[in-house]
């Protein structure tokens, strides 16, 4: 037994890991892996790379603490799978899982970034192949709600599973123990993340300009998700809307008030409370970089504003 | 090097695999120190229980040598045993390592067994001392801990090695201790993983099998079952189902029967009578024809999951005539 040698090797390995993870921004070199507290990052791109790093991948999903009622469990990021050979497919994957704080529930989100849109569709096609997926008789095309989600979407009823493509990203969401529409709400947010992603993972939506008192607000963050404009709720602040956030481990709620009118929205909810009662939303509410994204027109109107849209410009005006 | 069964009595400092109840071990050691003699303390504990099971102090021993672990006998049940060896000389240094205690030599496809699988199997089956007991416990724990993914392609890739054969590629990232690391996948993944678990502890030559040949358009309605994970029991349709077999009996950690008899997770159920009756409501098309007849040993590899081809999903040529003897067809 070479105790001294073993000890030295152990200390050296721990030292290199500390260096890699310092500052929270990791840059895992090709052919290496980093592991720490539920995070595993592997970079297989010794020959080829998709040009995405781990931070690019993490921008595709919710943070570990961004889903109320759930605790982040682990994250696996595999960069440049196939990048250790000169030919063949090349993709980067992220898997992130959460468990319910109180209820027996489990969330798992997988995002696979491919080289091209066709490759993401190939994933979908492979999964729909009955020889690959035993459960394919239970797969149904479209989303649970019937609303468009991504470029092509499928779901499994009762299982709260939804999978879809957006550009060159394949996404699969499993929300066991939750409502089907909760899984879909998670998916709507991820489509937003992908469409706003700086590495152009999907065809960019035509930019929407939101005007308050003739001044543009919330630039770059208002986009159309299949015809419905969504934007961070803070976009409304210049229109004399005050925003109050109540964020706990169980709930993420924002109350917006304006001239005696009020609206309450909750993360991943498909409805909002207003001073005039509950209103069903055209798109669910979801978090993005610390705030909630909402269907802009519905929330603005509930706060007493008039919404005029012409082309890619939306003007919010007082009644 | 992943461990096979080590029949020597020289405890290595890497994760070895040893048969239950063996004894007569020795420990070779070498310490780089400035003094020639010191004290060596060897402590052994059962990692599952956290209990110390053996300890010995060797005074005034040379800094290189071999000590006999007198009276030390491995437990008579599956577990993982930890060692801590401490040298006190000019300074004090120590090292820790563990070995796995299994029923017998690991079998294919876990021959040699993967340490990442043994970590799970020896923890889950800890305390079991018989092949059936180990297989039953591993099956139950897989169902308890696992998460059925609705029947979507997960860690399987098509490799034609024999008629109807299909590879499962273990994704090491799911096994290497991500806390707490739920095994996730469809029936293929559960069945093949269970084969790995059972064979890793040397229980018996478990293999995988499906309800019927693929690619013929056969499908069936399954009875109300409780799939692994928090979903409520339900019935539905499957193109096929994959399970673990040995000697005409089925172990299936993917589901539990909720009606009829027996209820619960299928463990050593007669395949064509009890298991069939518990699972199959009726065939929409086709028939119960477990395939391949003798089951198959899943191919496991440390390679990561291969990505799909960049320009669209290609139907593998072997899908049309997956026969033995031909080249491997993969994508």
Q: pLDDT tens digits, residue range A292-313?
A: 999 999 999 999 999 998 888 9
Residues of A in contact with B116 (CB under 8 A): none
**Tens-place pLDDT, residues B216-265:** 889 999 999 999 988 889 999 999 999 999 999 999 999 999 987 789 99
SS3 A236: helix
Domains and their CATH numbers in chain A: 25-196 (3.40.1000), 209-318 (3.30.457.10)
Contact B31 A3 (CB under 8 A): yes
Helix (H) or strand (E) holding B82: strand B79-88
Question: In this complex, do A138 and B236 lie within 8 Å of one another by their Cβ atoms?
Answer: yes
For residue A123, the model assigns a pLDDT of 87
Neighbouring residues of B184: CB distance < 8 A, sequence distance ≥ 6: A108, B146, B147, B149, B154, B174
Question: Is 70 exceeded by the pLDDT of residue B316?
Answer: no
Q: How far is A54 from chain B (nearest CA, A)?
A: 16
Lowest-pLDDT range, A57-61, A182-186, B310-314? Answer: B310-314
Give me the helices (H) in A94-248, please: 117-128, 180-196
- A295 touches A230 (CB < 8 A): yes
User: Taking all residues of chain A, what is their mean pLDDT, rounded to a whole number?
Assistant: 87
| DSSP symbol at B318 | G
Q: Is the peptide bond before B112 cis (omega within 30 degrees of 0)?
A: yes
Mean pLDDT of B30-39: 89
Residues of A in contact with B173 (CB under 8 A): 40, 42, 76, 78
**Chain B 240-279, residues with CB within 8 Å of chain A CB atoms:** 240-242
Q: Is the pLDDT of residue B173 over 60?
A: no
Chain B contact for A196 (CB, 8 A cutoff): no
How many separate helices (H) and strands (E) can be counted in chain A? Answer: 5, 22
| Distance in angstroms (rounded) separating the CA atoms of residues A65 and B188 | 32
Neighbours of A136 (CB within 10 A): 23
**What is the least distance, in Å, from the CA of A190 to any CA of chain B?**
20
Measuring CA to CA, how many Å separate B122 from each of B146, B205, B233? 17, 17, 30
Most A CBs within 10 Å: which of B61, B150, B217, as the mutation test of the A interface? B150
**pLDDT(A18) > 50:** no
For the domain made up of B17-102, give the CATH fold: Immunoglobulin-like (2.60.40)
Decide: B67 and B61 in contact? Cβ < 8 Å. Answer: yes
Nearest to B67 by CA among B24, B98, B15, B34: B24
Q: State the first-to-last Cα distance of chain B, in angstroms, to the nearest integer.
A: 28
pLDDT at residue B91, rounded to an integer? 83
For residues B184 and B149, the answer to whether their CB atoms sit within 8 Å is yes
Preceding amide of A308 cis, omega within 30: no
Q: In what order do the strands lie in the sheet with A252-258?
A: A242-247, A252-258, A261-266, A271-274, A277-280
At residue B117, what are phi and psi to the nearest 5 degrees?
-80, -40
Q: Dump pLDDT digits (tens) for A270-284.
A: 999 999 999 999 999
Q: Which two tokens stand for residue B155?
A: 């860690």
Q: At A201, phi and psi to the nearest 5? A: -85, -15
More confident residue, B316 or B331: B316
Look at residue A21 and tell me whether its pLDDT is greater than 80.
Answer: no
For residue B165, pLDDT beyond 50: no
Using an 8 Å CB-CB cutoff, list chain A residues near B231: 158-159, 176-177
pLDDT at residue B126, as a whole number: 96
Q: Which residues contact A288 (CB under 8 A, 6 or more apart)?
A: A189, A192, A193, A196, A221, A232
Distance from CA of A5 to the nearest CA of B (A): 8
Given B30, B93, B153, which is nearest A7 (Cβ)?
Answer: B93
β-strand pairing of A313-318 with A209-212: parallel
Q: How many CB atoms lie within 10 A of CB B84?
A: 16
Chain A residues near residue B155 by CB distance under 8 angstroms: none
Q: Which residues pair with A191 in a beta bridge?
A: none
Minimum CA–CA partner of B65 in chain A: A1
How many cross-chain Cβ pairs, A to B, lie less than 8 Å apart? Answer: 178
The more confident residue out of B166 and A120 is: A120
Nearest CB to A40; choose among B31, B33, B178: B178
Q: Is A134 on the interface with B (CB under 8 A)?
A: yes
Contact A121 B237 (CB under 8 A): no
B163, pLDDT greater than 80: no
- Note the pLDDT of residue A237: 92
Is the model's pLDDT at B302 over the cut of 70? no
pLDDT at A27 > cutoff 90:
no
Please state the pTM of the whole predicted model. Answer: 0.86
Boundaries of every domain in chain B:
17-102, 115-304
Q: State whether residue A318 sits within 8 Å of chain B by CB.
A: no
**Tell me, what's the pLDDT at B306?**
60
pLDDT at B321 over 50: no
Provide mean pLDDT across the span B158-165.
50
Flag whether residue A123 sits within 8 Å of chain B, measured between CB atoms.
yes
Determine whether the interchain pair A129/B180 forms a contact, defined as Cβ–Cβ distance below 8 Å: no
Q: What is the mean pLDDT of residues A127-138?
A: 90
pLDDT at B308: 60
Lowest mean pLDDT, pick from A11-15, A48-52, A197-201, B70-74: A11-15
Least CB–CB distance from B239: residue in A88, A137, A156: A137
Which among A5, A82, A127 is the nearest to B307, CB-wise?
A: A82
Q: pLDDT tens digits, residue range B79-137? A: 999 999 999 988 888 888 889 999 999 999 888 888 888 989 999 999 999 999 999 99
Q: Reply yes or no on whether the pLDDT at B207 is more than 60.
A: yes
Contact A136 B151 (CB under 8 A): yes
* pLDDT level of residue A38 (50, 70, 90 thresholds): confident
Q: Which of chain A's residues have a Cβ under 8 Å away from the Cβ of B158?
A: 131-132
DSSP for A60-97? TS--TT-STTEEEEEEEEEEEETTTSSSS--EEEEEEE
Q: Does A127 sit within 8 Å of B153, measured CB to CB?
A: yes
List b or e across A30-58, with b for residues whose CB sees 16 or more CB atoms inside 10 angstroms.
eeebbbeebbbbbbbbeebbbebbbebbb
Q: B235: helix, coil or strand?
A: strand
Closest CA to B134 of B20, B210, B286: B20
Q: Which residue has the higher pLDDT, B81 or B168?
A: B81
* Dihedral over Cα of A38, A43, A44, A49: its sign: positive
Q: Which of B94, B187, B238 comes nearest A3 by C-beta?
A: B94
Exposed, middle or buried by CB within 10 Å (0-12, 13-18, 19+), for A165? Answer: buried
User: How close, in Å, is residue A248 to chain B by CA atoms?
Assistant: 24
């Amino acid at each position: 037994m070479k105790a001294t040698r073993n000890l030295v090797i152990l200390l050296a390995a721990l030292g290199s890991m500390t260096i890699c993870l310092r500052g929270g921004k990791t840059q895992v070199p090709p052919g290496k892996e980093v592991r720490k507290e539920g995070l595993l990052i592997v970079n297989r791109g010794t020959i080829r790379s998709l040009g995405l790093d781990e931070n690019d991948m993490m921008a595709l999903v919710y943070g570990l603490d961004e889903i109320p009622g759930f605790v982040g469990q682990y994250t696996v990021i595999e960069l440049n799978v196939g990048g250790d050979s000169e030919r063949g497919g090349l993709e980067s994957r992220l898997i992130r899982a959460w468990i319910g704080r109180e209820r027996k529930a489990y969330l798992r989100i997988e995002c696979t970034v491919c080289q091209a849109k066709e490759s993401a569709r190939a994933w979908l096609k492979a999964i729909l192949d009955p020889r690959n997926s035993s459960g394919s008789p239970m797969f149904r095309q479209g989303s649970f709600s019937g609303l468009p989600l991504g470029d092509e979407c499928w779901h499994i009823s009762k299982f709260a599973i939804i999978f879809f493509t957006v550009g060159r990203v394949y996404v699969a969401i499993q929300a066991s123990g939750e409502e089907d529409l909760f899984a879909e709400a998670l998916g709507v947010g991820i489509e937003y993340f992908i469409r706003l992603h700086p590495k152009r993972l999907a065809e960019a939506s035509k930019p929407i300009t939101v005007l308050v008192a003739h001044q543009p607000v919330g630039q770059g963050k208002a986009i159309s998700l299949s015809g419905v404009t969504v934007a961070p709720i803070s976009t409304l602040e210049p229109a004399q809307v005050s925003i109050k956030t109540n964020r706990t481990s169980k709930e993420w709620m924002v109350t917006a008030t304006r001239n005696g009118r009020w609206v309450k929205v909750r993360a991943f909810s498909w409805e909002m409370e207003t001073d005039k009662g509950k209103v069903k939303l055209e798109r669910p509410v979801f978090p993005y970089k610390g705030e909630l994204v909402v269907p802009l027109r519905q929330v603005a109107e509930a706060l007493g504003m008039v919404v005029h849209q012409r082309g890619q410009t939306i003007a919010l005006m007082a009644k | 090097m992943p461990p096979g069964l080590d029949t020597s009595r020289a405890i290595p400092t890497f994760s070895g695999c040893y048969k239950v109840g063996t004894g007569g071990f020795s420990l070779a050691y070498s310490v780089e120190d400035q003094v020639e003699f010191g004290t060596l303390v060897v402590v052994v504990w059962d990692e599952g229980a956290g209990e110390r099971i053996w300890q010995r102090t060797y005074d005034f021993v040379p800094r290189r040598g071999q000590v006999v672990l007198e009276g030390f006998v491995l437990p008579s049940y599956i577990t993982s045993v930890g060692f801590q060896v401490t040298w006190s000389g000019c300074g004090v240094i120590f090292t820790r390592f563990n070995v796995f205690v299994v029923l017998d030599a690991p079998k294919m496809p876990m021959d040699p067994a993967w340490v990442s699988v043994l970590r799970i199997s020896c923890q889950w089956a800890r305390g079991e001392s018989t092949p059936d007991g180990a297989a039953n416990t591993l099956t139950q724990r897989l169902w308890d801990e696992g998460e059925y993914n609705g029947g979507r392609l997960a860690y399987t890739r098509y490799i034609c090695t024999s008629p109807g054969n299909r590879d499962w590629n273990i994704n090491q990232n799911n096994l290497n201790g991500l806390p707490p690391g739920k095994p996730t996948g469809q029936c293929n993944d559960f069945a093949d993983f269970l084969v790995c678990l059972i064979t890793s502890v040397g229980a018996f030559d478990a293999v995988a099998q499906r309800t019927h040949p693929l690619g013929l358009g056969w499908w069936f309605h399954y009875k109300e079952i409780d799939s692994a994970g928090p979903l409520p029991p339900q019935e539905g349709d499957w193109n096929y189902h994959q399970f673990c077999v040995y000697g005409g009996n089925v172990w299936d950690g993917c589901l539990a029967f909720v009606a009829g008899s027996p209820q619960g997770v299928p463990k050593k159920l007669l395949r064509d009578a009890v298991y069939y009756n518990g699972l199959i409501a009726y065939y929409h098309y086709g028939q119960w024809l477990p395939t391949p007849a003798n089951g198959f040993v899943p191919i496991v590899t440390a390679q990561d999951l291969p990505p799909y081809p960049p320009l669209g999903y290609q139907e593998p040529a072997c899908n049309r005539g997956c026969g033995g003897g031909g080249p491997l067809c993969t994508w």
